[in-house]
Chain A
Amino acid sequence: MRATAAPTASTVPEIILTLTLSQFVSSEGKPISLDGFATGTKQYFIVLRSIKDKQISTIPITVKGNKLVKLRAETHAIQRNVITVQVENADVAAFYARLSKDPSSILIVYDFGPTSTVSNIKTRAKKIEQAGSNAIDIYPEALLPFHSSGYKATIQIPQADLPSGIDVPGTAVFYPIGATANYPSPTVDKTNAIYDFEPTLTSSVNKSKNTRVTSGLFALTLNPVLFLREKDVDGQTRESSYWWDFRPNISANVDTLPEKSSTTPNRVTIALDSELGLSRKRSSGPAFDNWTWTNGVHSDSDRDFKLFSTYWHTDIAPDFWKWSESQGYRTGQYVPIGKPGLGPKHLTVTAYRFRPSFGYEVGATTARSGTIDLTLGDSVSRVLLKLDSMVELWRNVTFSAVDTSYYLFNATRRNARGFLDTQVAINTGIILRMDTQKIQSAVVFKYQRGEQPPKFTPTNTISLGFKIYK
Protein backbone atom coordinates (compact mmCIF):
# COMPACT_ATOMS: atom_id res chain seq x y z
CA MET A 1 0.00 0.00 0.00
CA ARG A 2 1.05 3.58 -0.54
CA ALA A 3 0.97 6.65 1.67
CA THR A 4 1.18 10.35 1.10
CA ALA A 5 4.20 11.77 2.93
CA ALA A 6 4.85 15.37 3.92
CA PRO A 7 6.78 17.23 6.59
CA THR A 8 4.72 17.60 9.72
CA ALA A 9 3.27 21.06 10.04
CA SER A 10 5.17 23.03 12.62
CA THR A 11 4.98 26.47 14.23
CA VAL A 12 8.50 27.09 12.96
CA PRO A 13 8.31 26.16 9.25
CA GLU A 14 12.05 25.99 8.66
CA ILE A 15 12.55 23.36 11.34
CA ILE A 16 11.25 19.94 10.34
CA LEU A 17 11.39 17.24 12.97
CA THR A 18 9.01 14.56 11.71
CA LEU A 19 7.26 13.28 8.61
CA THR A 20 3.52 12.76 8.49
CA LEU A 21 2.17 9.85 6.47
CA SER A 22 -1.51 9.86 5.62
CA GLN A 23 -4.07 8.90 2.95
CA PHE A 24 -3.22 5.20 2.88
CA VAL A 25 -4.36 3.52 -0.33
CA SER A 26 -4.00 0.07 -1.80
CA SER A 27 -2.05 -0.68 -4.97
CA GLU A 28 -5.41 -0.29 -6.78
CA GLY A 29 -5.83 3.17 -5.30
CA LYS A 30 -8.59 2.27 -2.83
CA PRO A 31 -8.48 3.82 0.65
CA ILE A 32 -7.24 1.46 3.36
CA SER A 33 -7.67 1.60 7.10
CA LEU A 34 -4.63 0.54 9.06
CA ASP A 35 -6.58 -0.13 12.28
CA GLY A 36 -9.74 -1.53 10.73
CA PHE A 37 -9.70 -4.82 12.58
CA ALA A 38 -11.31 -5.95 15.80
CA THR A 39 -8.67 -7.15 18.19
CA GLY A 40 -4.99 -7.60 18.75
CA THR A 41 -2.33 -5.72 16.84
CA LYS A 42 -0.90 -5.58 13.34
CA GLN A 43 2.68 -5.03 12.44
CA TYR A 44 3.45 -2.66 9.57
CA PHE A 45 6.71 -1.52 8.00
CA ILE A 46 7.19 1.92 6.57
CA VAL A 47 9.39 1.61 3.50
CA LEU A 48 11.46 4.65 2.47
CA ARG A 49 13.56 4.71 -0.67
CA SER A 50 16.83 6.59 -0.91
CA ILE A 51 17.23 8.82 -3.93
CA LYS A 52 20.95 8.27 -4.26
CA ASP A 53 21.46 4.54 -4.18
CA LYS A 54 17.90 3.30 -4.25
CA GLN A 55 18.55 1.64 -0.93
CA ILE A 56 15.47 0.93 1.12
CA SER A 57 15.05 1.68 4.80
CA THR A 58 12.25 0.24 6.90
CA ILE A 59 10.73 1.47 10.13
CA PRO A 60 8.49 -0.94 12.06
CA ILE A 61 5.22 0.23 13.56
CA THR A 62 2.62 -1.64 15.59
CA VAL A 63 -1.03 -0.66 15.26
CA LYS A 64 -3.79 -1.69 17.65
CA GLY A 65 -7.23 -2.77 16.33
CA ASN A 66 -9.95 -0.16 16.55
CA LYS A 67 -13.19 -2.01 15.66
CA LEU A 68 -15.55 -2.97 18.45
CA VAL A 69 -16.82 -6.51 18.63
CA LYS A 70 -20.57 -6.42 19.17
CA LEU A 71 -22.99 -9.16 20.12
CA ARG A 72 -26.68 -8.34 19.82
CA ALA A 73 -29.62 -10.63 20.54
CA GLU A 74 -33.09 -10.42 19.07
CA THR A 75 -36.26 -12.44 19.37
CA HIS A 76 -38.65 -13.22 16.55
CA ALA A 77 -42.23 -12.03 16.17
CA ILE A 78 -43.85 -15.44 15.89
CA GLN A 79 -41.23 -18.09 16.62
CA ARG A 80 -40.87 -18.57 20.36
CA ASN A 81 -38.25 -21.30 20.12
CA VAL A 82 -35.28 -19.30 18.88
CA ILE A 83 -33.22 -16.23 19.79
CA THR A 84 -30.77 -14.92 17.21
CA VAL A 85 -27.40 -13.49 18.22
CA GLN A 86 -25.95 -11.06 15.68
CA VAL A 87 -22.16 -10.89 15.67
CA GLU A 88 -20.27 -7.85 14.41
CA ASN A 89 -16.54 -7.63 13.72
CA ALA A 90 -15.71 -11.12 14.88
CA ASP A 91 -15.17 -14.51 13.33
CA VAL A 92 -18.63 -16.08 13.55
CA ALA A 93 -17.46 -19.52 12.47
CA ALA A 94 -14.86 -19.66 15.25
CA PHE A 95 -17.38 -18.35 17.79
CA TYR A 96 -19.93 -20.93 16.65
CA ALA A 97 -17.34 -23.72 16.83
CA ARG A 98 -16.57 -22.87 20.45
CA LEU A 99 -20.24 -22.62 21.47
CA SER A 100 -21.32 -25.77 19.65
CA LYS A 101 -18.98 -27.91 21.76
CA ASP A 102 -21.41 -27.53 24.67
CA PRO A 103 -24.57 -25.54 23.85
CA SER A 104 -26.01 -26.33 27.28
CA SER A 105 -23.35 -24.08 28.83
CA ILE A 106 -25.31 -21.10 27.46
CA LEU A 107 -27.79 -19.88 30.07
CA ILE A 108 -30.97 -18.02 29.15
CA VAL A 109 -33.01 -15.98 31.63
CA TYR A 110 -36.53 -14.65 31.05
CA ASP A 111 -37.03 -11.65 33.32
CA PHE A 112 -40.64 -10.47 33.61
CA GLY A 113 -39.79 -7.42 35.70
CA PRO A 114 -40.52 -6.48 39.31
CA THR A 115 -44.24 -5.85 38.77
CA SER A 116 -45.03 -9.28 37.36
CA THR A 117 -46.39 -12.00 39.57
CA VAL A 118 -44.64 -14.62 37.44
CA SER A 119 -41.24 -15.77 38.62
CA ASN A 120 -38.25 -15.36 36.35
CA ILE A 121 -37.36 -18.42 34.30
CA LYS A 122 -33.84 -19.76 33.88
CA THR A 123 -33.13 -22.26 31.15
CA ARG A 124 -30.32 -23.43 28.87
CA ALA A 125 -29.68 -23.64 25.17
CA LYS A 126 -30.85 -26.89 23.62
CA LYS A 127 -28.96 -26.47 20.37
CA ILE A 128 -27.40 -23.76 18.26
CA GLU A 129 -27.16 -23.21 14.52
CA GLN A 130 -25.12 -20.81 12.46
CA ALA A 131 -27.53 -18.47 10.67
CA GLY A 132 -25.70 -16.91 7.77
CA SER A 133 -22.34 -15.22 7.88
CA ASN A 134 -22.90 -13.04 10.94
CA ALA A 135 -25.49 -14.65 13.20
CA ILE A 136 -26.07 -17.67 15.41
CA ASP A 137 -29.51 -19.04 16.27
CA ILE A 138 -29.88 -20.22 19.86
CA TYR A 139 -32.73 -22.60 20.65
CA PRO A 140 -33.69 -22.51 24.34
CA GLU A 141 -34.88 -25.64 26.15
CA ALA A 142 -37.85 -23.65 27.50
CA LEU A 143 -39.74 -21.72 24.86
CA LEU A 144 -40.03 -17.95 25.22
CA PRO A 145 -43.25 -17.86 27.27
CA PHE A 146 -46.43 -15.92 26.66
CA HIS A 147 -46.81 -13.04 29.08
CA SER A 148 -49.30 -10.23 29.44
CA SER A 149 -46.55 -7.65 28.86
CA GLY A 150 -43.15 -7.49 27.20
CA TYR A 151 -40.17 -8.89 29.09
CA LYS A 152 -36.40 -9.29 28.86
CA ALA A 153 -34.63 -12.39 27.57
CA THR A 154 -30.95 -12.47 28.51
CA ILE A 155 -28.46 -14.90 26.99
CA GLN A 156 -25.46 -15.62 29.20
CA ILE A 157 -22.45 -16.67 27.12
CA PRO A 158 -19.56 -18.37 28.95
CA GLN A 159 -16.62 -15.99 29.02
CA ALA A 160 -14.21 -18.58 27.61
CA ASP A 161 -16.32 -18.92 24.46
CA LEU A 162 -16.53 -15.22 23.65
CA PRO A 163 -14.86 -13.78 20.59
CA SER A 164 -11.78 -11.80 21.56
CA GLY A 165 -12.19 -8.08 21.74
CA ILE A 166 -15.06 -7.98 24.24
CA ASP A 167 -14.27 -6.39 27.54
CA VAL A 168 -15.38 -8.65 30.34
CA PRO A 169 -14.58 -8.05 34.00
CA GLY A 170 -11.99 -10.55 35.16
CA THR A 171 -14.26 -12.16 37.71
CA ALA A 172 -17.28 -12.57 35.41
CA VAL A 173 -18.04 -16.10 34.27
CA PHE A 174 -20.77 -15.16 31.82
CA TYR A 175 -21.28 -12.32 29.39
CA PRO A 176 -24.94 -11.20 29.19
CA ILE A 177 -26.66 -10.24 25.93
CA GLY A 178 -30.16 -8.78 26.38
CA ALA A 179 -33.14 -8.94 24.04
CA THR A 180 -36.74 -7.88 24.42
CA ALA A 181 -39.52 -10.41 24.02
CA ASN A 182 -43.18 -9.68 23.47
CA TYR A 183 -45.63 -12.53 23.22
CA PRO A 184 -48.95 -11.35 24.67
CA SER A 185 -51.13 -13.89 26.41
CA PRO A 186 -53.98 -15.10 24.24
CA THR A 187 -56.50 -14.43 27.01
CA VAL A 188 -56.46 -11.48 29.32
CA ASP A 189 -59.44 -12.11 31.61
CA LYS A 190 -57.34 -13.40 34.45
CA THR A 191 -54.93 -10.45 34.42
CA ASN A 192 -57.32 -7.57 33.85
CA ALA A 193 -58.15 -5.22 36.66
CA ILE A 194 -61.41 -3.45 35.95
CA TYR A 195 -62.55 0.00 36.92
CA ASP A 196 -65.74 1.15 35.28
CA PHE A 197 -67.90 4.20 35.92
CA GLU A 198 -70.92 4.93 33.75
CA PRO A 199 -73.08 8.01 34.39
CA THR A 200 -75.98 7.90 31.95
CA LEU A 201 -79.27 9.52 31.17
CA THR A 202 -81.78 6.71 31.23
CA SER A 203 -85.27 6.27 29.93
CA SER A 204 -87.07 3.46 31.74
CA VAL A 205 -90.46 1.86 31.29
CA ASN A 206 -92.71 1.45 34.31
CA LYS A 207 -94.84 -1.45 33.23
CA SER A 208 -97.40 -1.27 36.04
CA LYS A 209 -98.09 2.42 35.41
CA ASN A 210 -97.56 2.09 31.66
CA THR A 211 -95.31 5.15 31.62
CA ARG A 212 -91.80 6.01 30.56
CA VAL A 213 -89.61 7.99 32.97
CA THR A 214 -86.28 9.68 32.37
CA SER A 215 -83.72 9.70 35.14
CA GLY A 216 -80.02 9.54 35.83
CA LEU A 217 -78.48 6.10 36.22
CA PHE A 218 -75.02 5.63 37.61
CA ALA A 219 -73.06 2.40 37.39
CA LEU A 220 -69.78 1.84 39.18
CA THR A 221 -67.69 -1.32 39.13
CA LEU A 222 -64.42 -2.01 40.90
CA ASN A 223 -63.07 -5.42 40.15
CA PRO A 224 -59.34 -5.67 40.86
CA VAL A 225 -57.29 -8.84 40.74
CA LEU A 226 -55.31 -9.30 43.94
CA PHE A 227 -52.71 -11.86 44.95
CA LEU A 228 -52.50 -13.51 41.55
CA ARG A 229 -50.26 -16.56 41.75
CA GLU A 230 -49.36 -18.88 38.92
CA LYS A 231 -47.96 -22.38 39.03
CA ASP A 232 -46.17 -24.43 36.41
CA VAL A 233 -45.37 -21.45 34.22
CA ASP A 234 -41.61 -21.98 34.44
CA GLY A 235 -41.29 -22.45 30.69
CA GLN A 236 -40.79 -26.20 30.90
CA THR A 237 -42.84 -28.33 28.54
CA ARG A 238 -46.02 -29.05 30.47
CA GLU A 239 -49.54 -30.08 29.64
CA SER A 240 -51.17 -27.62 32.02
CA SER A 241 -50.61 -24.72 34.38
CA TYR A 242 -52.70 -23.19 37.18
CA TRP A 243 -53.41 -19.80 38.64
CA TRP A 244 -55.40 -18.51 41.53
CA ASP A 245 -56.28 -15.06 42.77
CA PHE A 246 -58.50 -13.06 45.07
CA ARG A 247 -60.98 -10.86 43.26
CA PRO A 248 -63.11 -8.57 45.40
CA ASN A 249 -65.88 -6.89 43.48
CA ILE A 250 -67.98 -3.86 44.22
CA SER A 251 -70.71 -3.13 41.73
CA ALA A 252 -73.39 -0.47 42.14
CA ASN A 253 -76.24 0.53 39.84
CA VAL A 254 -78.26 3.39 41.27
CA ASP A 255 -80.66 5.90 39.79
CA THR A 256 -82.11 9.22 40.89
CA LEU A 257 -85.73 8.10 41.19
CA PRO A 258 -87.57 7.28 44.42
CA GLU A 259 -87.08 3.63 45.32
CA LYS A 260 -90.79 2.82 45.09
CA SER A 261 -91.24 4.08 41.55
CA SER A 262 -87.81 3.12 40.25
CA THR A 263 -87.71 0.53 37.50
CA THR A 264 -84.04 0.82 36.59
CA PRO A 265 -81.63 -1.97 37.57
CA ASN A 266 -80.98 -0.74 41.14
CA ARG A 267 -78.53 -3.14 42.68
CA VAL A 268 -75.48 -2.93 44.93
CA THR A 269 -73.27 -6.00 45.03
CA ILE A 270 -70.27 -6.62 47.23
CA ALA A 271 -68.45 -9.85 46.44
CA LEU A 272 -65.38 -11.56 47.82
CA ASP A 273 -64.45 -13.98 45.08
CA SER A 274 -61.48 -16.20 44.53
CA GLU A 275 -60.63 -17.74 41.19
CA LEU A 276 -58.90 -20.99 40.46
CA GLY A 277 -57.78 -21.33 36.85
CA LEU A 278 -56.47 -24.11 34.71
CA SER A 279 -54.66 -23.67 31.39
CA ARG A 280 -54.57 -26.96 29.56
CA LYS A 281 -52.60 -27.60 26.39
CA ARG A 282 -54.50 -29.05 23.50
CA SER A 283 -53.48 -32.38 22.09
CA SER A 284 -52.19 -30.75 18.92
CA GLY A 285 -50.61 -27.41 18.11
CA PRO A 286 -49.67 -24.60 20.46
CA ALA A 287 -53.28 -23.90 21.49
CA PHE A 288 -54.53 -24.16 25.04
CA ASP A 289 -57.85 -23.90 26.84
CA ASN A 290 -58.59 -22.08 30.08
CA TRP A 291 -61.08 -23.03 32.77
CA THR A 292 -61.89 -20.64 35.60
CA TRP A 293 -63.67 -21.78 38.74
CA THR A 294 -64.94 -18.92 40.88
CA ASN A 295 -66.08 -19.19 44.49
CA GLY A 296 -67.05 -16.42 46.85
CA VAL A 297 -69.43 -14.79 49.26
CA HIS A 298 -71.75 -12.20 47.73
CA SER A 299 -74.05 -9.66 49.25
CA ASP A 300 -76.75 -8.09 47.08
CA SER A 301 -78.90 -5.21 48.20
CA ASP A 302 -81.22 -2.63 46.75
CA ARG A 303 -80.10 0.97 46.42
CA ASP A 304 -81.27 1.98 49.89
CA PHE A 305 -79.85 -1.13 51.63
CA LYS A 306 -83.27 -2.26 52.82
CA LEU A 307 -83.17 -5.77 51.42
CA PHE A 308 -80.10 -8.01 51.57
CA SER A 309 -79.36 -11.30 49.91
CA THR A 310 -76.23 -12.95 51.24
CA TYR A 311 -75.17 -16.12 49.51
CA TRP A 312 -72.33 -18.32 48.38
CA HIS A 313 -71.63 -18.09 44.67
CA THR A 314 -69.86 -20.63 42.51
CA ASP A 315 -69.46 -20.76 38.76
CA ILE A 316 -67.27 -22.35 36.16
CA ALA A 317 -66.31 -20.60 32.95
CA PRO A 318 -64.45 -22.08 29.97
CA ASP A 319 -62.22 -19.95 27.74
CA PHE A 320 -61.61 -22.26 24.89
CA TRP A 321 -59.01 -21.62 22.23
CA LYS A 322 -60.25 -19.00 19.79
CA TRP A 323 -63.41 -18.27 21.80
CA SER A 324 -61.81 -15.07 23.04
CA GLU A 325 -58.96 -13.01 21.70
CA SER A 326 -57.71 -9.76 23.16
CA GLN A 327 -56.80 -6.72 21.12
CA GLY A 328 -53.10 -7.03 21.89
CA TYR A 329 -53.02 -10.66 20.91
CA ARG A 330 -54.92 -10.26 17.66
CA THR A 331 -53.00 -7.25 16.43
CA GLY A 332 -49.71 -8.77 17.55
CA GLN A 333 -50.38 -11.98 15.68
CA TYR A 334 -51.69 -10.25 12.62
CA VAL A 335 -48.84 -7.89 11.80
CA PRO A 336 -45.65 -9.20 13.40
CA ILE A 337 -43.24 -6.41 14.23
CA GLY A 338 -40.55 -6.05 11.62
CA LYS A 339 -42.30 -8.16 9.02
CA PRO A 340 -44.63 -7.12 6.26
CA GLY A 341 -48.24 -8.01 6.95
CA LEU A 342 -49.80 -10.77 4.96
CA GLY A 343 -53.14 -9.05 4.54
CA PRO A 344 -54.74 -5.65 5.03
CA LYS A 345 -52.84 -3.36 7.39
CA HIS A 346 -55.78 -2.90 9.74
CA LEU A 347 -58.01 -5.45 11.36
CA THR A 348 -61.73 -4.89 11.36
CA VAL A 349 -62.43 -7.15 14.34
CA THR A 350 -59.70 -6.16 16.77
CA ALA A 351 -60.97 -8.21 19.72
CA TYR A 352 -63.80 -10.51 20.60
CA ARG A 353 -65.04 -12.60 23.50
CA PHE A 354 -67.50 -15.37 23.95
CA ARG A 355 -67.43 -16.60 27.51
CA PRO A 356 -70.22 -18.72 28.90
CA SER A 357 -70.36 -19.62 32.58
CA PHE A 358 -72.58 -21.83 34.65
CA GLY A 359 -73.09 -21.32 38.36
CA TYR A 360 -75.10 -21.87 41.49
CA GLU A 361 -75.95 -19.56 44.37
CA VAL A 362 -77.30 -20.49 47.79
CA GLY A 363 -78.02 -18.26 50.81
CA ALA A 364 -80.65 -16.18 52.53
CA THR A 365 -82.53 -12.91 52.12
CA THR A 366 -83.13 -10.53 55.01
CA ALA A 367 -84.99 -7.24 55.21
CA ARG A 368 -83.65 -4.33 57.27
CA SER A 369 -86.95 -2.58 56.70
CA GLY A 370 -89.99 -3.40 54.64
CA THR A 371 -91.13 -6.86 53.65
CA ILE A 372 -89.66 -9.70 51.70
CA ASP A 373 -91.34 -10.64 48.44
CA LEU A 374 -93.29 -13.79 49.26
CA THR A 375 -92.98 -15.05 45.73
CA LEU A 376 -89.19 -15.14 46.03
CA GLY A 377 -89.07 -16.22 49.67
CA ASP A 378 -86.34 -15.59 52.22
CA SER A 379 -83.89 -18.19 50.99
CA VAL A 380 -81.69 -18.11 47.92
CA SER A 381 -81.22 -21.21 45.79
CA ARG A 382 -80.76 -20.64 42.11
CA VAL A 383 -78.69 -21.74 39.15
CA LEU A 384 -77.52 -19.28 36.57
CA LEU A 385 -76.25 -19.45 33.03
CA LYS A 386 -74.33 -16.40 31.86
CA LEU A 387 -73.37 -15.68 28.28
CA ASP A 388 -70.81 -12.90 28.04
CA SER A 389 -70.05 -11.81 24.47
CA MET A 390 -68.21 -8.87 22.96
CA VAL A 391 -66.97 -7.74 19.57
CA GLU A 392 -64.58 -4.81 19.19
CA LEU A 393 -64.26 -3.17 15.78
CA TRP A 394 -61.37 -0.97 14.64
CA ARG A 395 -60.10 -0.83 18.24
CA ASN A 396 -62.68 1.79 19.20
CA VAL A 397 -66.21 0.51 18.75
CA THR A 398 -67.33 -2.20 21.13
CA PHE A 399 -70.56 -4.17 21.03
CA SER A 400 -71.21 -6.27 24.11
CA ALA A 401 -74.07 -8.33 25.41
CA VAL A 402 -74.28 -10.14 28.73
CA ASP A 403 -77.30 -12.35 29.17
CA THR A 404 -77.87 -14.02 32.53
CA SER A 405 -80.59 -16.63 32.96
CA TYR A 406 -81.69 -17.67 36.44
CA TYR A 407 -83.72 -20.57 37.67
CA LEU A 408 -85.07 -19.87 41.16
CA PHE A 409 -85.79 -23.09 43.00
CA ASN A 410 -87.68 -21.41 45.86
CA ALA A 411 -89.89 -19.06 43.83
CA THR A 412 -93.56 -19.86 43.98
CA ARG A 413 -94.09 -18.83 40.39
CA ARG A 414 -92.01 -17.83 37.35
CA ASN A 415 -88.97 -19.77 38.39
CA ALA A 416 -87.11 -18.79 35.25
CA ARG A 417 -85.88 -15.19 35.18
CA GLY A 418 -83.34 -13.40 33.08
CA PHE A 419 -81.45 -10.16 32.63
CA LEU A 420 -79.96 -8.81 29.41
CA ASP A 421 -77.40 -6.00 29.36
CA THR A 422 -76.37 -4.81 25.90
CA GLN A 423 -74.03 -1.97 25.20
CA VAL A 424 -72.43 -0.07 22.35
CA ALA A 425 -69.35 1.91 23.40
CA ILE A 426 -67.39 4.27 21.19
CA ASN A 427 -63.97 4.93 22.61
CA THR A 428 -63.23 8.63 23.01
CA GLY A 429 -59.98 8.32 24.88
CA ILE A 430 -57.97 10.25 22.33
CA ILE A 431 -60.63 12.80 21.48
CA LEU A 432 -61.19 13.81 25.06
CA ARG A 433 -57.54 13.55 26.09
CA MET A 434 -58.42 11.25 28.95
CA ASP A 435 -56.37 8.24 28.01
CA THR A 436 -53.68 8.88 30.58
CA GLN A 437 -52.78 6.21 33.10
CA LYS A 438 -54.53 3.69 30.85
CA ILE A 439 -57.92 5.06 31.87
CA GLN A 440 -60.13 5.11 28.81
CA SER A 441 -63.32 6.95 28.09
CA ALA A 442 -66.23 6.16 25.82
CA VAL A 443 -69.64 7.33 24.80
CA VAL A 444 -71.99 4.53 25.70
CA PHE A 445 -75.45 3.46 24.60
CA LYS A 446 -77.07 0.79 26.77
CA TYR A 447 -80.16 -1.35 26.66
CA GLN A 448 -81.08 -3.34 29.74
CA ARG A 449 -84.06 -5.56 30.15
CA GLY A 450 -85.17 -8.23 32.59
CA GLU A 451 -84.92 -8.93 36.29
CA GLN A 452 -81.94 -9.37 38.54
CA PRO A 453 -81.25 -10.04 42.21
CA PRO A 454 -82.07 -9.26 44.91
CA LYS A 455 -85.57 -7.94 44.14
CA PHE A 456 -86.02 -9.18 40.58
CA THR A 457 -87.93 -6.01 39.70
CA PRO A 458 -88.81 -5.92 35.98
CA THR A 459 -86.69 -3.33 34.17
CA ASN A 460 -86.65 -2.03 30.65
CA THR A 461 -84.26 0.85 30.06
CA ILE A 462 -82.42 2.69 27.35
CA SER A 463 -79.43 4.75 28.45
CA LEU A 464 -77.09 7.19 26.81
CA GLY A 465 -74.08 8.41 28.66
CA PHE A 466 -70.43 8.34 29.32
CA LYS A 467 -68.08 5.65 30.42
CA ILE A 468 -64.69 5.84 32.14
CA TYR A 469 -62.95 2.53 32.43
CA LYS A 470 -59.66 0.73 32.70
Chain B
Amino acid sequence: MILATACGAPCAKAQNNWSAAFVNAPPIGQQILVDFGDQLAFDKSANTVTLADGSTTFDLNEVTILSLDSNPRS
Protein backbone atom coordinates (compact mmCIF):
# COMPACT_ATOMS: atom_id res chain seq x y z
CA MET B 1 0.00 0.00 0.00
CA ILE B 2 1.49 3.31 -1.07
CA LEU B 3 0.36 6.76 -0.12
CA ALA B 4 1.84 8.60 -3.01
CA THR B 5 -0.46 11.60 -2.90
CA ALA B 6 -0.50 12.23 0.79
CA CYS B 7 3.18 12.24 1.48
CA GLY B 8 4.64 15.00 -0.64
CA ALA B 9 7.78 12.91 -0.69
CA PRO B 10 8.85 9.60 -2.18
CA CYS B 11 6.83 6.82 -0.54
CA ALA B 12 7.64 3.20 -0.05
CA LYS B 13 5.54 0.18 0.61
CA ALA B 14 5.76 -1.24 4.07
CA GLN B 15 7.21 -4.71 4.39
CA ASN B 16 4.74 -7.57 4.56
CA ASN B 17 5.88 -8.59 7.99
CA TRP B 18 5.37 -5.12 9.48
CA SER B 19 2.27 -4.70 11.57
CA ALA B 20 0.68 -2.35 14.07
CA ALA B 21 -1.79 -2.89 16.86
CA PHE B 22 -3.89 -0.31 18.70
CA VAL B 23 -4.53 -0.61 22.41
CA ASN B 24 -6.51 1.63 24.73
CA ALA B 25 -6.33 0.46 28.30
CA PRO B 26 -6.41 2.65 31.37
CA PRO B 27 -4.41 4.08 32.98
CA ILE B 28 -1.85 4.11 30.19
CA GLY B 29 -4.30 5.26 27.53
CA GLN B 30 -4.07 5.02 23.79
CA GLN B 31 -1.00 3.42 22.26
CA ILE B 32 0.04 1.90 18.96
CA LEU B 33 2.59 -0.90 19.02
CA VAL B 34 4.55 -1.20 15.78
CA ASP B 35 6.22 -4.51 15.07
CA PHE B 36 8.87 -4.70 12.32
CA GLY B 37 9.21 -8.47 12.50
CA ASP B 38 12.70 -8.37 13.88
CA GLN B 39 14.93 -6.59 16.37
CA LEU B 40 15.58 -2.87 16.15
CA ALA B 41 18.70 -0.90 16.93
CA PHE B 42 17.93 2.23 18.88
CA ASP B 43 20.16 5.31 18.77
CA LYS B 44 19.24 7.27 21.80
CA SER B 45 21.20 10.41 20.93
CA ALA B 46 19.72 10.72 17.43
CA ASN B 47 16.38 9.25 18.47
CA THR B 48 16.31 6.83 15.56
CA VAL B 49 15.77 3.12 15.09
CA THR B 50 17.44 0.99 12.48
CA LEU B 51 15.99 -2.19 11.12
CA ALA B 52 17.83 -5.46 11.80
CA ASP B 53 19.05 -5.77 8.21
CA GLY B 54 20.36 -2.19 8.32
CA SER B 55 18.41 -1.20 5.26
CA THR B 56 16.49 1.69 6.82
CA THR B 57 16.81 4.06 9.73
CA PHE B 58 13.65 5.83 10.88
CA ASP B 59 13.58 9.21 12.57
CA LEU B 60 11.42 8.91 15.67
CA ASN B 61 11.00 12.69 15.83
CA GLU B 62 8.96 12.60 12.66
CA VAL B 63 6.31 9.97 13.15
CA THR B 64 2.94 11.06 11.83
CA ILE B 65 -0.43 9.41 11.46
CA LEU B 66 -2.84 9.83 8.58
CA SER B 67 -6.47 8.92 8.91
CA LEU B 68 -8.96 7.62 6.37
CA ASP B 69 -12.54 7.23 7.51
CA SER B 70 -14.01 3.81 7.14
CA ASN B 71 -17.61 2.75 7.76
CA PRO B 72 -18.64 6.16 9.11
CA ARG B 73 -22.29 5.37 9.88
CA SER B 74 -22.91 7.33 13.00
Residues of B within 8 A of A52 (CB): 56-57
Say if the beta carbon of A63 comes within 8 Å of chain B: yes
Within 8 A of B (CB), among A23-80: 24, 33-35, 37-63, 65-66, 69
Contact of B20 among A42, A46, A94, A165 (CB under 8 A): A46
Residues of A within 8 A of B21 (CB): 61
Q: How far is the CB of A25 from chain B (nearest CB, A)?
A: 10
Residues of A within 8 A of B45 (CB): none
Residues of A within 8 A of B2 (CB): 58
Kindly report which residue of chain B lies nearest to residue A64, judged by CB atoms. Answer: B22
Inter-chain contact A54/B65, CB cutoff 8 Å:
no
Stretch from A13-21, A244-252, A311-319, A449-457 contacting the other chain? A13-21
Interface digits, B13-43 against A, CB 8 Å rule (1 contact, 0 not)? 1100011111010001111111110011110
Residues of A within 8 A of B70 (CB): 40-43, 62
Contact of B1 among A60, A62, A90, A163 (CB under 8 A): A60
Interface digits, A428-444 against B, CB 8 Å rule (1 contact, 0 not)? 00000000000000000
Inter-chain contact A91/B74, CB cutoff 8 Å:
yes
Say if the beta carbon of A8 comes within 8 Å of chain B: yes
Inter-chain contact B63/A21, CB cutoff 8 Å:
yes
Inter-chain contact B10/A45, CB cutoff 8 Å:
no
Interface digits, B53-74 against A, CB 8 Å rule (1 contact, 0 not)? 0001111101111111111111
Q: How many chain-A residues does the 8 Å CB contact rule pick out?
A: 57
Q: How far is the CB of B16 from chain A (nearest CB, A)?
A: 11
Say if the beta carbon of A156 comes within 8 Å of chain B: no
Inter-chain contact A16/B49, CB cutoff 8 Å:
yes
Inter-chain contact A164/B73, CB cutoff 8 Å:
yes
Residues of A within 8 A of B59 (CB): 48-51
- Please report the number of residue pairs spanning A and B whose Cβ atoms sit closer than 8 angstroms: 184
CA distance A60 to B30 in the complex (A): 17
Inter-chain contact A54/B9, CB cutoff 8 Å:
yes
Say if the beta carbon of A2 comes within 8 Å of chain B: yes
Given the contacts A17-B39, A40-B73, A60-B20, A47 and B66 also touching, CB distance less than 8 Å: yes
Residues of B within 8 A of A48 (CB): 58-59, 63
Residues of A within 8 A of B7 (CB): 47, 56
Inter-chain contact B24/A45, CB cutoff 8 Å:
no
Inter-chain contact B20/A61, CB cutoff 8 Å:
yes
Contact of B18 among A16, A59, A62 (CB under 8 A): A59
Say if the beta carbon of A347 comes within 8 Å of chain B: no
CA distance A384 to B12 in the complex (A): 103
Interface digits, A396-437 against B, CB 8 Å rule (1 contact, 0 not)? 000000000000000000000000000000000000000000
Residues of B within 8 A of A1 (CB): 64-67
Kindly report which residue of chain A lies nearest to residue B34, judged by CB atoms. Answer: A19
Inter-chain contact A51/B48, CB cutoff 8 Å:
yes
Inter-chain contact A3/B65, CB cutoff 8 Å:
yes
CA distance A37 to B29 in the complex (A): 16
CA distance A6 to B40 in the complex (A): 11
Inter-chain contact A38/B66, CB cutoff 8 Å:
no
Inter-chain contact A21/B57, CB cutoff 8 Å:
no
CA distance A44 to B35 in the complex (A): 16
Contact of A18 among B10, B30, B33, B66 (CB under 8 A): B33
Say if the beta carbon of A257 comes within 8 Å of chain B: no
Residues of A within 8 A of B12 (CB): 50, 55-57
Inter-chain contact A57/B14, CB cutoff 8 Å:
yes
Contact of A7 among B28, B40, B63 (CB under 8 A): B40
CA distance A64 to B71 in the complex (A): 10
Give A contacts to B, CB under 8 Å.
1-8, 15-22, 24, 33-35, 37-63, 65-66, 69, 89-91, 94, 163-165
Give B contacts to A, CB under 8 Å.
1-3, 6-7, 9-14, 18-22, 24, 28-36, 39-42, 46, 48-49, 56-60, 62-74
Instruction: List 4 extra interface pairs beyond A3-B64, A165-B74, CB under 8 A.
Output: A20-B32, A35-B24, A43-B68, A48-B59
Q: Which 4 pairs from chain A and chain B are nearest by CB?
A: A40-B71, A21-B32, A61-B20, A5-B60
Could you show 19 A-B contacts with beta carbons less than 8 Å apart?
A: A2-B64, A7-B49, A16-B42, A17-B39, A21-B31, A21-B34, A21-B65, A24-B65, A34-B24, A41-B71, A42-B67, A43-B67, A45-B3, A47-B65, A48-B63, A56-B7, A57-B58, A59-B20, A62-B70
